[in-house]
Structure 1
Amino acid sequence: MLITRDTVAEQLAAYLEGKKALVEIVSWAHDAFNEGEFDAADLEVIRDVVARLGLADVTAFGLTWEDAVEMLGRLGYRASVHVQPAKV
């Protein structure tokens, strides 16, 4: 499987949007790092971000909003927040 900037950004966005749990993102990152083929054009940034996501479940590392914003920026994306009323 070819891992591109878009692939990684989609996984991170899914986590931030509540569509995927942290454990799923960490598992995906482990699989991508071990079995995926990183796009050669963006190898360094993809490798670094995927490696960082693979450590997100370790207490010493975690995954903060600031971390996610920085990673998305490196991937060529910008994070934003959309707030809506809770359904009661």
Structure 2
Amino acid sequence: MALKSAALFEKMDPFIKSQGAELVKKINAVYYFEVSKAKGETPEVWTVDLKNGTGVNLISQIQSQSLKERQEQLMPHLPWQMMI
């Protein structure tokens, strides 16, 4: 059964597609959400990119990907790995 929050993210998608470029200029941030029904359950994951391009609402169903991997995909220009 889908979470109630899934409907909210689905409704955001058309808005971001139509207003994304303006939102990127104003907000300039990437939001990462993990929502689960109860503590310890596998969360559903959403990423809302209002920093790059014209904005993207990524409804992700791949829970195996770590936050670090998602950050590297969304913002490859940042030094996520330390060089020693």
TM bucket, shorter chain? 0.3 to 0.5
Length-normalised TM-score, structure 1: 0.32
Structure with larger Rg? 2
- Whose strand fraction is larger, Structure 1's or Structure 2's? 2
- Whose helix fraction is larger, Structure 1's or Structure 2's? 1
Structure with the greater relative contact order (CA < 8 A, sep ≥ 6): 1 or 2? 1
Length-normalised TM-score, structure 2: 0.32
